[in-house]
Amino acid sequence: MILPGKMLGLIGGGQLGRMFTIAARNMDYRVTVLDPDPLSPAAEFASGHLNTAYTHPISLEEMATTCAAVTTEFENAPAEVLIELAKRTTVRPSGNAVAIAQDREQEKGFFKAKGFPVGPFAMIKSAADIAAALKVVKLPAVLKTARFGYDGKGQARIANVGELESVLAHWKFPPSILEEFIALKLEISVVLARAADGEISVFPVAENQHVNGVLDITIAPARISTVIAAHATDIAKRLAVALDYVGVLAVEFFITHDEQLLINEIAPRPHNSGHYTIDACRSSQFEQQVRVLCGLPLGDATQHSAAVMLNLLGDIWRGPEKKTAPDWQAVLKHPGAHLHLYGKREARAGRKMGHVTVCDADLAVALKVALQIKAELQIG
């Protein structure tokens, strides 16, 4: 057990790292952030900032010798770095688990091999693979790069063979996965924490709505039956066990019109759809991340208020070079609305700049207020 006062290491310094660092600092842990961005949002709250590449040997030596434990805030952290650090200090989640999550070929292959429900998919690594892929996957479909895709990046909707060939050629044939397009009733996610001793704590299932591949609104608890919620929770827990996962894990699901659950993907870290837990649950996903990393007992994931989370993207900043922030009075005038800004200096279209969580005893009221805020901020 790593008690307060110790130094924790964080690979990656974006908004998820910022919220982890705040949770850690509130518990009197110190945090060293490793991130090449000199304006890292997490570094503003950290005890130290190693402003280098993630693979820089001197920085990794410092983390190995000064940090009692190390975690990551994004799935594209070099898995080999986590594996090497684990030889000298505690690392959670493991580099092996992160390696599976950051590569769609490994991820989908793992789901299928372990018997978890997934839609039809096929890998394409060259023009020679197209014909075989189309025997497995019917068009229309979604083409995704196997690595480094997130928030709709590295993805394309494919209607016919010509489009598939054209997109792959334009991308210069990186390893890609073709996934059959599935008509959806709903998208949901399960965020859980799994401790080193196998204890699992699961947050209520969240309902997610996306725009252009980016999460727009999360509604918690999800407006689904208790049967589906229990089934999704069970799959997520079994998946965490199958991965031998230690840390906070998010599992994204599709619900089809005939009430089937299919796993979309996993995230080996806290998740955008779990931000509501900061204001609406007894313990947040970030406090759970600290607890798991330090070997502390898991917190209570009970939700005490219904919540709707609204993402704030750089699109709503105005003026020349998007220097003018929105009028936050649209948020702050509502007593149940909580404004979270990430301290990013530059607003860009599609960039996550913050979020708002609206809490209320009544989910319908929370959703009504969130939609009012969305309209006043001219989101979407």
Quote the longest CA-to-CA distance of the chain: 59
The third-level CATH classification (topology) of the domain covering 184-376 is: D-amino Acid Aminotransferase; Chain A, domain 1 (3.30.470)
Q: Superfamily for 120-180? A: ATP-grasp fold, A domain (3.30.1490.20)
Task: Tell me what pLDDT residue 209 has.
Answer: 97
Q: Which long-range contacts (CB under 8 A, 24 or more apart) does 202-209 make?
A: 202/233, 202/236, 202/237, 202/301, 203/274, 203/277, 203/281, 203/285, 203/301, 203/303, 204/229, 204/281, 204/301, 204/303, 205/229, 205/232, 205/233, 206/273, 206/274, 206/276, 208/252, 208/273
Task: Tell me what pLDDT residue 134 has.
Answer: 96
Q: With 80 as the cut, is the pLDDT of residue 148 above it?
A: no
Task: Tell me what pLDDT residue 4 has.
Answer: 98
Summarize the confidence of residues 254-277 as an average pLDDT.
97
Domain boundaries, the chain: 7-91, 120-180, 184-376
Instruction: Tell me which of 3.40.50.2000, 3.40.640.10, 3.40.50.20, 3.40.50.970 is the CATH number of domain 7-91.
Output: 3.40.50.20
Summarize the confidence of residues 2-9 as an average pLDDT.
98
Q: List, for residues 153-170, the tens digit of each pLDDT value.
A: 788 999 999 999 999 999
Q: With 80 as the cut, is the pLDDT of residue 152 above it?
A: no
For the ranges 64-68, 86-90, 102-106, the lowest mean pLDDT is seen at 102-106
Which residue has 């901020």 as its token pair?
Answer: 377
Question: What mean pLDDT, rounded, does the chain reach?
Answer: 96
Q: List, for residues 314-326, the tens digit of each pLDDT value.
A: 999 999 889 999 9
Please, is 333 exposed, middle or buried when counting C-beta atoms within 10 Å of its C-beta (0-12, 13-18, 19+)? Answer: exposed
Summarize the confidence of residues 70-98 as an average pLDDT.
96
pLDDT band for 93, please (50, 70, 90 cuts): very high
305, 226 in Cβ contact below 8 A? no
Task: Tell me what pLDDT residue 154 has.
Answer: 83
pLDDT band for 230, please (50, 70, 90 cuts): very high
Task: Tell me what pLDDT residue 213 has.
Answer: 87
